[in-house]
């Protein structure tokens, strides 16, 4: 008699039942397996988007490293590599002044980013942590400014800055760029500050800190990821701005976007496409490297305010 058939008074004494052996799961039928086509379709779609987006940049880099005699070569891989095009782009004797344009873009982008962050962080704090009359109206105005087309401001700004003598001055390029990047700055920082626990600020106030001290010592360090992300996005936007810069700058304040568009050869009938591609590569690669290095910080900063802790 096995143990399972023994009663309470059997040889086992306690009537213990032997545990049954677990049954092994039956193999999944072939009809229930996950289909492979959706995954392949997803990867194909991603590949098409990547090729479509990166093809112009790839072609620019390839042409930049080719000899000028092979500028119009349609071969999709590098041939006859040379650095002469980069030398031509940086040559100041040609009158293109590309190096000074890079300095101008750094000045305009740096000042714009710093001022936008200073204004944006205090505005975002007021919208996220304070209650006052007109708060929702102010939020609507900020969002409306983000949707306003910059092209509609070219003529009014040109006339205004011309009347006060600002055409060709740095402030004529910095002030409009600040107004363009402020909505993004305020929106990103407001979303982040709104989700920070109120208890942190209240604890600092209980310990005797003023509102400004609580903001500076408690909230500001926690907002570092959002500040870093916003600074990168604001700088990239300002670095790439062309439309207003082409109308409000002159030779001494011209940024790189305008300088590349005005590249010229030995005469007015020659367009140095190879040098233009080299200049575009020099302008674009640093931004790409910066985004690749700090992509985790950018993503974390953009998503930090989207999830309640």
Which pLDDT band holds residue 239 (cuts at 50, 70, 90)? Answer: very high
- CA angle at residue 113 from 111 to 116, to 5 degrees? 105
The per-residue pLDDT for range 262-279, each reduced to its tens digit, is 887 766 677 888 889 999
Report the pLDDT averaged over residues 134-158. 86
- SS3 sequence of 191-216: HHHHCCCHHHHHHHHHCCCCHHHHHH
Provide φ and ψ at 77, rounded to 5°. -135, 160
- Residue 18's pLDDT band, with cuts at 50, 70 and 90, is low
pLDDT of residue 12: 47
* Largest Cα–Cα separation, the chain: 113
The mean pLDDT value of the chain amounts to: 82
Token duo for residue 225? 């990821």
pLDDT at residue 134 greater than cutoff 90: no
pLDDT score of 26: 56
Q: What is the DSSP letter of 10?
A: S
Angle at 65 between CA 64 and CA 67, to 5 degrees: 100
Closest CA to 246 of 264, 263, 259: 259
The token pair that represents 213 in the structure block: 């001290």
Around Cβ 115, how many Cβ atoms within 10 Å?
A: 18
Q: What is the pLDDT of residue 4?
A: 45
pLDDT at 3: 45
Average pLDDT over residues 50-58: 90
Per the DSSP assignment, residues forming a β-bridge with 66 are: 81
* pTM score over 0.95: no
What per-residue confidence (pLDDT) applies to 195?
A: 83
pLDDT beyond 80 at 102: yes
Q: Which domains are seen in the chain, by residue range?
A: 36-82 (no CATH), 97-306 (1.10.3720.10)
What is the spatial distance between Cα 144 and Cα 151, in angstroms, rounded to a whole number?
15
Residue of 178, 39, 160 whose CA lies nearest to 120: 178
- 42-71 burial, b if ≥16 CB within 10 A, otherwise e? eeeeeeeeeeeeeeeeeebbbbbbbeeebb
Q: Which residue, among 232, 267, 136, 123, has the nearest Cα to 182 in the 3D structure?
A: 123
pLDDT tens digits for range 290-300: 888 877 777 76
Is pLDDT at 162 greater than 60 in this prediction? yes
Compare 183 and 300 and report the one with higher pLDDT: 183
pLDDT band at 22 (very low <50, low <70, confident <90, very high): low
The reported pLDDT for the residue numbered 52 is: 92
The dihedral over CA atoms of 149, 154, 157, 160, expressed in degrees to the nearest 10, equals: -140
Whether the pLDDT of residue 245 is over 70: the answer is: yes
Confidence of residue 191 (pLDDT cuts 50, 70, 90): confident
Name the token pair of 235. Answer: 């700088």
**What dihedral do alpha carbons 255, 256, 261, 264 form, nearest 10°?**
100
Q: What value does the mean pLDDT take over residues 126-130?
A: 86
pLDDT at 196: 81
Q: Which of 305, 113, 131, 299 is nearest to 219 (CA)?
A: 305
Mean pLDDT score, 29-35: 60
Q: pLDDT-based confidence at 211, cuts 50/70/90? A: confident
């Amino acid at each position: 008699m096995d143990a399972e058939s023994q009663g309470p008074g059997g040889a086992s004494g306690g009537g213990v039942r032997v545990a049954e052996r677990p049954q092994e799961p039956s193999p999944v039928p072939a009809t229930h397996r996950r289909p492979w086509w959706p995954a392949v379709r997803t990867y194909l779609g991603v590949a098409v988007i990547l090729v479509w987006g990166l093809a112009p940049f790839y072609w620019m880099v390839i042409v930049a490293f080719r000899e000028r005699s092979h500028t119009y070569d349609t071969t999709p891989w590098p041939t006859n590599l040379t650095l002469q095009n980069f030398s031509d782009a940086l040559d100041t004797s040609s009158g293109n002044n590309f190096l000074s344009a890079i300095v101008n873009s750094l000045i305009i982008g740096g000042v714009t980013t710093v001022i936008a962050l200073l204004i944006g962080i205090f505005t975002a704090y007021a919208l996220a942590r304070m209650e006052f009359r007109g708060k929702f109206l102010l939020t609507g105005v900020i969002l409306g400014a983000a949707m306003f087309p910059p092209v509609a401001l070219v003529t009014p700004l040109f006339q205004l800055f011309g009347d006060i003598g600002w055409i060709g001055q740095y402030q004529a390029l910095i002030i409009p760029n600040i107004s363009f990047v402020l909505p993004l700055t305020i929106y990103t920082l407001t979303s982040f500050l709104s989700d920070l626990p109120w208890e942190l600020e209240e604890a600092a106030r209980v310990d005797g800190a003023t509102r400004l001290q609580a903001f500076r010592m408690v909230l500001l360090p926690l907002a570092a990821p959002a500040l870093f992300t916003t600074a990168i996005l604001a700088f990239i936007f300002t670095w790439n701005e062309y439309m207003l810069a082409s109308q409000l700058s002159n030779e001494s304040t011209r940024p790189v976007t305008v300088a590349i568009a005005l590249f010229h050869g030995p005469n007015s009938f020659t367009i140095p496409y190879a040098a233009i591609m080299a200049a575009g590569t020099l302008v674009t690669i640093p931004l790409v490297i910066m985004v690749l290095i700090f992509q985790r910080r950018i993503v974390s900063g953009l998503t930090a305010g989207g999830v309640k802790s």
